[in-house]
Amino acid sequence: MCAIFGIAGADEAAKLAYLGLHALQHRGQEGAGIATTQDAKPYVFKRQGHVGEIFSPDVMRDLPGRSAIGHTRYSTAGGNTALNLQPLVMKSALGWIAVAHNGNLVNAGEVVHRLETEGAIFQSTTDTEVFIHLMARSPHRELVPALTYALSQVQGAYSLLVLNSRQLIAARDPMGFRPLVLGDLRGSPVFASETCAFDLIGARFIREIEPGEMLVVDLDEVSRWESLRPFPKSPHKKCVFEHVYFARPDSNVFGSNVHGVRKALGRRLAKEQPVPGGEVVIPVPDSGVPAAIGFAEESGIPFDMGIIRSHYIGRTFIEPKQSIRDFGVKLKLSPIRSCVEGSRIVVVDDSLVRGTTSKKLIKHFRDAGAREVHLRISAPPTTSPCFYGIDTPTRAELPASSQSIEEIRRYIGADSLGYLSLSGLIEVASASSASGFCHACFSGEYPTAVSNK
């Protein structure tokens, strides 16, 4: 997963991009980059690491100009990381172009193969470069038609920001898989994956970039932007997992507040999967907290913060040879004995992917004296990999793709295990936002053809 941020026509554009990425880094902590433009020239700085470590005052001085786009990247296996950091800045007959992208193309493999046959050279393994190659090969010499040409050839999920010396363009695929919002900061248009970036810099939220929309900002007159819709309308397929897990609770995503949706999921979960006789509701921090509060409210069972999450997980990891049982989980999550001892506890988490962490955590709770451990998940079983930008395991690694809930319950060692139903999830998510959702990870219903990429 990734986040993108853009701003046009503002003093200290790079600093604002830095702050926007800071607010968005829950979407990607492997590396980040910012590209700016001044006097028709591009400037870019990208590095691996956390946003706060990458952008020093020295780096900021080397990112002049009044318009900027930025990107923060999630850790994915393999690949030359440094080359895959974004924004990509490349020079072609269109001049230089900087691109930042969140999403995943389902036909990237075919397109790359075709372009290489025609003499193209690829530097990275990112989809982002695919957009740039397609633009460079467009018969057009202006950014808007070249981008339209490029987008007409790709399928899948993309929320894009494109910057050159004259324009900043925000684009979102016709199904609208990934979020992208438009704001205003004292007359400058601002773009971000989530609204929490606007809150930090004091920008005002205007609206979502619509699925299928291309919003074009002229850098010489940023207050007058133009909205284009070059492609036919498509049913919306917004990623429901953004609400379940990915987005930050204080963001509004697809029109709803994430924290509010999660609490509502917890309430629904309490109705669908009650725990009679439960004595305390304990969230798996941090992402399970809102659903646990909702569950506690609906069920009347008291809420308690019965696990401490350590925020000091360092990069070097040293484990004794005489291995400490469940060491990794223990370093991060510490149950509080006084909260659980002798009790029938309800543990609430937002999702259960592989199940290994849950298994260890349940063991910890029992070691700390819990009498019964009932696990409740505020989402349906994860049965299918995502091809639209979320790094899920393959189907073979997803226990729910092949095992029954009872088998999983036995594996993780819970006294009971309850998931939210798919219909429950969709009803809650749809309550405040009219449009459709992609729930392929829970249902296997992919809204596009998917390759074996």
Shortest distance in whole angstroms from residue 293 CB to a copy of itself: 6
Residue 87, classed as helix, strand or coil, is coil
Contacts of a copy of itself in 246-275 (CB under 8 A): 248-250, 257, 259-260, 263
Residue 290 lies near a copy of itself (rule: CB under 8 A): yes
Shortest distance in whole angstroms from residue 286 CB to a copy of itself: 8
The tokens for 261 are: 């949706």
Task: Tell me which residue of 284, 250, 240, 297 sits closest to 439, measured CA to CA.
Answer: 240
Part of the chain binding a copy of itself (CB under 8 A), chosen from 192-200, 392-400, 402-410, 419-427? 192-200
Task: Tell me which residue of 303, 266, 300, 274 sits closest to 377, measured CA to CA.
Answer: 266
Burial class (CB in 10 A: 0-12, 13-18, 19+), 348: buried
2 is catalytic: yes
Cis peptide before 87 (omega within 30 of 0): yes
Q: Which is nearer to a copy of itself, 305 or 449 (CB)?
A: 305
Residue 137 lies near a copy of itself (rule: CB under 8 A): yes
Distances from the Cα of 37 to the Cα of 18, 127, 139, 142, angstroms: 15, 23, 25, 17
Task: Tell me which residue of 95, 90, 91 sits closest to 141, measured CA to CA.
Answer: 95
Q: Which of 2, 239, 386, 438 is catalytic?
A: 2
Element (DSSP H or E) covering residue 22: helix 13-24
Choosing from 52, 109, 255, 444, the residue that interacts with a copy of itself (CB under 8 A) is 52
Task: Tell me which residue of 192, 241, 197 sits closest to 353, measured CA to CA.
Answer: 241
Angle at 29 between CA 36 and CA 72, to 5 degrees: 25
Residue 402 lies near a copy of itself (rule: CB under 8 A): no
Q: Which is nearer to a copy of itself, 224 or 315 (CB)?
A: 315
Instruction: Report DSSP letters for 281-307, one per residue.
Output: EEE-TTTTHHHHHHHHHHH-PPB---E
Q: Which is nearer to a copy of itself, 49 or 235 (CB)?
A: 49
Q: What are phi and psi of 193, to 5 degrees?
A: -65, -35
Q: Which is nearer to a copy of itself, 172 or 268 (CB)?
A: 268
Part of the chain binding a copy of itself (CB under 8 A), chosen from 130-138, 224-232, 372-380, 441-449? 130-138
Half-sphere exposure of 103 (CA within 13 A, CB side): 34
Residue 117 lies near a copy of itself (rule: CB under 8 A): yes
Q: What is the DSSP letter of 42?
A: E
Q: What is the DSSP letter of 323?
A: P
Choosing from 122, 149, 225, 446, the residue that interacts with a copy of itself (CB under 8 A) is 122
Residue 33 lies near a copy of itself (rule: CB under 8 A): no
Residue 60 lies near a copy of itself (rule: CB under 8 A): yes
Residue 322 lies near a copy of itself (rule: CB under 8 A): yes
Contacts of a copy of itself in 64-83 (CB under 8 A): none
Instruction: Count the residues of the shown chain that bind a copy of itself, applying the rule CB under 8 A.
Output: 80
Shortest distance in whole angstroms from residue 399 CB to a copy of itself: 28
Choosing from 1, 85, 90, 168, the residue that interacts with a copy of itself (CB under 8 A) is 90
Shortest distance in whole angstroms from residue 7 CB to a copy of itself: 11
Choosing from 40, 41, 56, 449, the residue that interacts with a copy of itself (CB under 8 A) is 56
Altogether, the residues listed in the chain come to a count of 453
Part of the chain binding a copy of itself (CB under 8 A), chosen from 196-204, 210-218, 239-247, 381-389? 196-204
Q: Which is nearer to a copy of itself, 254 or 442 (CB)?
A: 254
Shortest distance in whole angstroms from residue 117 CB to a copy of itself: 5
Rounded-to-10 torsion of CA 90, 93, 95, 100: -40
Name the amino acid, one letter, at 271.
K
> What are the residue numbers of the active site?
2
